[in-house]
Structure 1
């Protein structure tokens, strides 16, 4: 079960002339390399949820992606592309000498993990895609379905503000807040690591890549679709999602059907963060998958 654990090591890696900070827990022979969501979030929320894997003999490595946490925060919007983040991820892996890894990507980190797996397949032992998608246009249609549950008048209100580019209007923010509590984290009190990451959110990468909130995708990945390429990913893949996830079970199934070696777990009573919302089911599923694919 998750708990906050101080890293054993903290590294500073030079990437594109900037400083990226990475964290390492444990000294196991196999590494779980975690790519957190956002974009623009510090890695705290995912690091604290997975550092406990050291109890099972794994090394766990996370890093604050450029623009987040303790890494440098340049304001050049041209840096916020998935291709550059793929190369950043590879730079961190090589700098820390990780070898082949179990790559775990959550949300945006899953998009990043998919593109990494297609670019550097030789560096993966397994791929774990958590609460993520591989087809953005399909996700947009699923988000429209979730938004529709708010009722036609609320949907019309949201569309009006979106057409005007007004994302900070109180009634619009109220609708987004309801959706967040239904489909991002359904706990009455969000865990401290989640709040810590959210309180330090850099909206520069987020708005450039994704959009103004979790339910409107108008950034530079709005047309991203890797479903036609997933057959090239040959390593074993675990796909996880919450039954109420904003990145819905339908999106998860679309990935599973396109991958040659994938299993899918849908967690009850959870949305976008099953590791906090339903840890009793989440950790056995993750550890079972990892144990079946250990090299030793």
Structure 2
């Protein structure tokens, strides 16, 4: 399974891209672009989705979004630089750089939010969209996180409240309480999956994007995305869409219900026993479900998606 990496010029910076090509390409199997989350978590924790290349006979593209991972870091960029439109523009620059005309898109967490932002603009080359573990608005996300947070042990809840009020969210006691939430609702694998740990380590080493757009963690959202919503634009999504989530996901059903309610051609599935990183917790089941969706929306007579 050949794997190549590239550094593409994007908006005056560099975006690192990985292209995984199947040993035996399947006719009509269009490329899949994988959008990672965060924002700013790098691609490592979704790297296992490259297995879809061999399993489905299609090219799979990962890239590190600007500001994180192996792409250009911009710690001095002002907060207003980091917008959804920036990452929409980067996505199209990656497609242009690889010479891709028609693609499927799979976005996980923030990547699903970004996928929705791309889809509502109705780009000609978008064939399908998979939104995985993602909210349709950050206010809904915060409401859901508050309900889950209320289920934490009293000592953890008290520590979170106290340190957030004091602005000491880097205190070890606060971080320990955060880990309790994460173990329940973000990744239910013990010990921590190495791919997830790699993305977290990169984010912590360069937290500009995550801290600016999101905040200090998954449930204390005080960044520039705090009021983000795509709900009122979802009727503009014109491609088949798959919505996936986990039973214990921090993306609670209320957060992704607008995708199901408002996108014209949509289906949804919840993985029992899984949380936010469903693709790591139940990798084979997750990929089988995604593979079937992609196959249903390929064009057997079309080969225009092959990269140059």
| Category of TM-score, reference length = shorter chain | over 0.9
**1:69 equivalenced with 2:69 (yes/no):** yes
Aligned to 1:91: 93
What is the aligned counterpart of 1:186 among 188, 195, 216? 188
Q: Please give the alpha-carbon distance, in whole angstroms, between the structure 2 residues aligned to 1:290 and 1:195.
A: 28
What is the aligned counterpart of 2:207 among 194, 197, 203? 203
The answer to whether the Cα contact below 8 Å between 2:122 and 2:236 also exists between their aligned partners in 1 is no
Aligned to 1:257: 261
Following TM superposition, the consecutive aligned residue runs of length 4 or more in structure 1 with deviations greater than 6 angstroms are none
Trace 1:93-172 onto structure 2 (pairs within 5 A). 93-151=95-153, 154-172=156-174
Aligned to 2:305: none
Per the TM alignment, residue 278 of structure 1 is displaced from its structure 2 partner at its CA by 1.5
Structure 1 pair 17/280, CA: closer, same or farther in 2 (3 Å)? closer
Q: Secondary structure at the match of 1:266?
A: strand
Q: Please give the alpha-carbon distance, in whole angstroms, between the structure 2 residues aligned to 1:247 and 1:150.
A: 16
Aligned to 2:247: 243
The answer to whether the Cα contact below 8 Å between 1:77 and 1:204 also exists between their aligned partners in 2 is no
Trace 1:23-38 onto structure 2 (pairs within 5 A). 23-26=18-21, 28=25, 29-38=29-38
Q: Which has the bigger relative contact order, CA under 8 A and spacing at least 6? A: 2
The answer to whether the Cα contact below 8 Å between 1:186 and 1:271 also exists between their aligned partners in 2 is yes
Q: Secondary structure at the match of 2:168?
A: coil
Aligned to 2:303: none
- Deviations along 1:184-209, one digit per CA (max 9) or x if unpaired, are 10011222222222111131000110
Compare 98-107 and 26-35 and name the one that shifted more.
Answer: 26-35
Structure 1 pair 45/154, CA: closer, same or farther in 2 (3 Å)? closer
Per the TM alignment, residue 156 of structure 1 is displaced from its structure 2 partner at its CA by 4.0
TM-score by length of 2: 0.90
Aligned to 2:52: 53
Question: Which stretches in structure 1 are left out of the alignment for 5+ residues?
Answer: none
Structure 1 pair 53/13, CA: closer, same or farther in 2 (3 Å)? same
Q: Please give the alpha-carbon distance, in whole angstroms, between the structure 1 residues aligned to 2:16 and 2:286.
A: 28
**1:289 equivalenced with 2:293 (yes/no):** yes
The answer to whether the Cα contact below 8 Å between 1:269 and 1:278 also exists between their aligned partners in 2 is no
TM-score by length of 1: 0.93
The answer to whether the Cα contact below 8 Å between 2:188 and 2:281 also exists between their aligned partners in 1 is yes
The answer to whether the Cα contact below 8 Å between 2:37 and 2:110 also exists between their aligned partners in 1 is yes
